[in-house]
Amino acid sequence: MIEPWAIANAFVEHVRTSYPEDVALVVAYGSHVSGTPHDRSDLDLYFVPATERGREASLQFILDGIGYDFWPLGWERLEGIVRLNELPMVAAVVDALILHSRAKPDTMRFAALQARMRDQLRSSDLPVKLHRFDQILESATGHLGNLLGADATATPSTSLMEGNALVAEIVAGLALLNGQYLPRGWVQCRPQIRQFRLQPDGLPDFLDRFLKASSDEEIRESCRDLVEACWQFRKLFRARIPGDYPEHFAGFYEEIKSSINKVLYACDVGDHALARAVSARLQHEIAWQLAQVEESSVPGEMTPVSHFRMAYDRAGLPDITALAIEGDLPRLSAAARELDERFQTLLSDEGVEFTSFDSLDALHRHLNIEADASGDAASSPESGETAPDQALRDSQRKK
């Protein structure tokens, strides 16, 4: 069998001869660098182009029955890896061995990236890592949605492909939380994963269940339980942020008051469809906002409603959506009024102040608008039109 490093030397010579100014670095990483290759291991090689022409050095081929990929990895993408955008690629930076450098500044630039990457992993800045983990958890939830939704009738092989992407993302995110990275595929790194200091309860069991699952249902169930365990685990890092209500909820009640009134209107006229839609949107919005101020991270778009809705339930607010589903509009109307009163009290107790006016004159005074004897807004001295009227006329003239 051909020695892998002989292949690496051939590429280094190729770059020196044909692309001396177009390729900044030739880099090796993976099992041959870490000392853990097997009989069928390829040599992981990439190069950093310095020019567009340098990208032409790329080559994929098979030799001795083993596939090789000499591929370009630009500086911009390397920066993204260091910023934790591609956790599976961390090893390609941290464990990298430079085989060829065009010039010393290229070597120093890459060494600086490696140092930053190691600092990122060792950093005690947990909020940054939690933010990245939240993004990963949202992506994994998206994979779970594919498993349980559109692909619910898929074959086991399709579910396994989707599920493996889900699991790989989660374990990479957990590695980051623990200041580590996975030097190989997650299955090979299970001994390392079991030793994570920060991990959901039962993580090794979830992974074993996934690997042993043989039916579509078993695969979906193991993935669902793993994602749920991760959401529960994530809550351990969330805590009440005291004194944040006044800033966060400034103007919020005034804004959603119209939605409360719309629920009441739907109940008055017997519009069940409108009552359902508006109740669901109103309760969702209040729950979302309460979760933000009660927990240390903002729920993402893929966060299950059941998780940020807990803040709503803890506040003791009525479940108007459930009443809307039941179709009992008189009870829904009473619950909407109760929600209005309880939510006002909650915000007031937390120091939130409301802006309310008892007359148009009061609004004018607040806006520093002078009123004429009739109490109407000041007119244009030339036309007698109010400012909105004149603005409308001006816009029509422009057309």
DSSP 28: E
CA 374 to each of CA 266, 361, 363: distance values in angstroms, whole numbers, following the listed order: 36, 11, 15
Q: What stretches of 123-251 show up as alpha helix (H) in DSSP?
A: 126-148, 156-177, 190-194, 203-212, 216-235, 245-248
Confidence of residue 310 (pLDDT cuts 50, 70, 90): confident
Per-residue pLDDT at 391:
47
Q: What is the pLDDT of residue 151?
A: 52
Query: What is the pLDDT at residue 381?
Result: 46
Backbone angles phi, psi at 131, to 5 degrees: -60, -45
Phi-psi region of 103 (alpha: psi -120 to 50; beta: other; left: phi over 0): beta
Confirm if 307 and 299 have CB atoms less than 8 A apart.
yes
Whether residue 300 is predicted with pLDDT greater than 70 in this model: the reply is no
Please give the residue that has the higher pLDDT: either 174 or 297. 174
Q: Which residue has the higher pLDDT, 168 or 399?
A: 168
Q: How confident is the model at residue 153 (pLDDT cuts 50, 70, 90)?
A: low
Mean pLDDT of 178-185: 92
pLDDT at 374: 47
